[in-house]
Structure 1
Amino acid sequence: MRGPDDRARQALIEAPVDLLLDRLTSQLASDFGISGAELYQVDYRLSVLLPFGGGEPVTRPGHPAWRCFDHQEPILAGDAGWFPVGMRGERRGVLRLIPAPQDQEAVDQLAAIATALGHELAAVSAGTDLYRDARRARRLTLAAEMQWELLPGRSRVRPSFSLAGQLEPAYAVRGDSFDWSDDGRRVWLSTVNGTGEGVAAAMLTALATHALRNARRGGLALADQAALADQAIYALHRGEQHLATLLMEVDLASGRLTVVDAGSPRLVLLRDGEASEPALDKQFPLGMFEGTDYQEQHIDLSRGDRLFVVSDGVVDALGGNIRYGETALDRILRRTRPMAPLDAVRSLVGDLRAFVTGDLIDDAVVVCLDWTGPHP
């Protein structure tokens, strides 16, 4: 006999894409006596939780919705229960249910159902704009639309690693980007420090990202991935356009990090409370010259190591006439060490916004990768 979890999942699977929340609410009313449900999605800036059905967004730190989102656990407050909505570490938002459940078994079941909603949102989003539209606090520029569609997600959690990234200014980013993939044995991460303005910058980054994916999916080694992307960009732009890129691959069984530094963004290693920049061979950016021969370097990671990748837009951000700089970066990176990668990224970006008193003018990308050690 099917339980309430199974019935809720079946209701989600069978619901039309525009009625996911309606059909889920009906099922929860039958099984749990829920009278109201609302989905709050986090916006592109990671600063607002926006209700899908309209109404007041949640911005105040310490609100039960943000505590649920930040800690990724159910929060019961007053007559409402708040449940994290996401999948495999990708945080999409929170689900508010009224009235709050009264026993732990119901809380656990509703938490599992909220996760199932996260999976279903990911499944249907390719074929509808409803949920994308509802998670933007303002209109994206065309270049930003292209960049966000290019991303694999914003956070990822597996037993051996967790990672997260963010683009700024979120609603007007142009060329900075990141990409990742894992197959259970390795995780690949590329970070692009884009060049140019507007759509032209987004198109150049898109070309590099798809070329790197094509090479990766073809089974090429990291240096050969860089060479293929280098050739693709040079063939089109003949050296007039190029991209600073950092390519990384982590062997999940050993923690062996392979790196190709193609004129890259900054790489910072946090180990035992100390921040350092590994000595990398600065090679030519992708597309600068024809037939560049890229070389790989190797670093052995230790359990608990954290890697931050930041583009020039971070350290060069200006508050008035003052540059953010390496000192401020080192301070905030140390301060975020106890946080999960997405929270660490949010904290760094929030510090940058406070420093420049608003959105960044130049593009910036921040990526954080934690190596938690080999797991079966």
Structure 2
Amino acid sequence: MSGPEDRVRRALGEAPADLLIDRLATELARAYGITRTELYQVDYRLAVLLALGDGEPITSPGHPAWRCFDHQEPVVSEGTGWFPVGMRGERRGVLRLSPLPAGPAALRELDAMATALGHELAAVTASTDVYVTARRDRRLTLAAEMQWELLPGRSRIRPSFRLAGQLEPAYAVRGDSFDWSDDGRRLWLSVINGSGEGAAASMLTSLAIHALRNARRAELALADQAALADQAIYALHRGEQYLSALLLELDLASGTMTVVDAGSPRLLLLREGEVSEQVLEKQFPLGMFEATDYQAQQFPLRRGDRLFVVSDGVVDATARQIRYGETALDRFLRRTGPMEPLDAVRSLIGDLRAFVAGDLIDDAVAVCLDWLGPQP
């Protein structure tokens, strides 16, 4: 006879895409007597947890919901349980359940069900706007809509690495973006420092990312991936439009990092509490000239190294005619050592927003990669 977990998983798998929470609530009420089941999703700025239904937004950092989201573990407060919702390191939000049944076994089961919900949300997002619409507390610009649809996710965890990225201004970003993929042996990461305004900037970035994906999936070497994207952009714009990019490929068995710097964002290394800029051979941006011959570089990572990739929108953020600058950036990055990558990029963008006293005017992208070492 199947238990509650099996019934919940079956109900989620069979539910219409827009009724996942309704079906989950029905099963939880039947199995545990839970009468309140609510999904709260984190918004695009990583600043507010938004209810799928009529619940009030949650912004206070000390709220149990945020403690659950930040630490990625269940939090029980005043008879209400908060459970992290996500998959493979991608944090979607939290699930609120009450009244909570007694006993650690029930807590573990509900935690597993919240994870199952995260997988189902990822599976149905392409077929319904219900959950995507509920994640925003304001309207996205057309350019921002295009950029967020391009992303592979916002965070990723595997035994050998942890990875996260964030775009700002989240609701109006234009050309900055990032992309990643891994196959268990290698991790590929590209960070785009876009150019232009509005939807035109997003279209240029979209062309670059799709060209890079096409080359990567054809199993071309990293330098050849850059060359193919360069040719695709030049063929369309004849050098009138181009963009900067940093392409990285990490060998997960050895920790060897291969890099192609195409007029790229900054690559910073946090090692044993000290920040240094990784010296790279600067090459032409993608699409600037016809048939650019790109060269790859290699350098080894040590277990515990943290890499940051940041666009010029981070360093050049300005408030009261004062530039954020390299010194402030290095000082802040040193403080992120104990943080998970998603918390690190979220904190960095938050520090920038505090510095400028609002949303950034220029695009900024921040990506954080932790190398945990080879795994069996």
8 Å Cα contact 1:81/1:101 also seen in 2 = no
Aligned to 2:300: 300
SS in 2 for 1:102: coil
Q: Which amino acid letter does the alignment assign opposite residue 126 of structure 1?
A: A
The 5-angstrom pairing of residues 15-30 of structure 1 reads 15-30=15-30
- The Cα of 1:55 is off from its aligned counterpart by 2.4
SS in 1 for 2:22: helix
The 5-angstrom pairing of residues 95-244 of structure 1 reads 95-244=95-244
Aligned to 2:66: 66
CA–CA distance in structure 1, aligned partners of residues 222 and 4 of structure 2: 47
**Cα-to-partner distance string for 1:286-335 (whole Å, 9 max, x where unaligned):** 00000100000001000000000000000000112100000110011000
Aligned to 1:365: 365
What's the TM-score, normalizing by structure 2? 0.99
CA–CA distance in structure 1, aligned partners of residues 195 and 134 of structure 2: 30
Does 2:46 match 1:46?
yes
8 Å Cα contact 1:90/1:153 also seen in 2 = yes
CA–CA distance in structure 1, aligned partners of residues 194 and 210 of structure 2: 15
Give the total of aligned pairs.
376
Q: Which amino acid letter does the alignment assign opposite residue 35 of structure 2?
A: S
CA–CA distance in structure 1, aligned partners of residues 341 and 10 of structure 2: 33
SS in 2 for 1:101: coil
**Cα-to-partner distance string for 1:216-241 (whole Å, 9 max, x where unaligned):** 00000000000000000000000111
CA–CA distance in structure 1, aligned partners of residues 147 and 101 of structure 2: 40
Does 2:75 match 1:75?
yes
Once the two structures are aligned, what percentage of the paired residues are identical? 77
The 5-angstrom pairing of residues 195-344 of structure 1 reads 195-344=195-344
What's the TM-score, normalizing by structure 1? 0.99
Deviates more, 1:27-36 or 1:204-213: 27-36
Does 2:14 match 1:14?
yes
SS in 2 for 1:254: coil
**Cα-to-partner distance string for 1:109-161 (whole Å, 9 max, x where unaligned):** 10000000000000000000000000001000000000000000000000000
CA RMSD between the two structures = 0.5
Is there any run of 5+ residues in structure 1 with no aligned partner, and where?
none
SS in 2 for 1:44: coil
Q: Which amino acid letter does the alignment assign opposite residue 281 of structure 1?
A: E
SS in 1 for 2:240: coil
CA–CA distance in structure 2, aligned partners of residues 150 and 34 of structure 1: 37
- The Cα of 1:101 is off from its aligned counterpart by 2.9
Deviates more, 1:135-144 or 1:16-25: 16-25
Runs of 4+ aligned residues of structure 1 deviating over 2 Å after TM superposition are none
- The Cα of 1:209 is off from its aligned counterpart by 0.2
CA–CA distance in structure 1, aligned partners of residues 324 and 279 of structure 2: 23
Does 2:83 match 1:90?
no
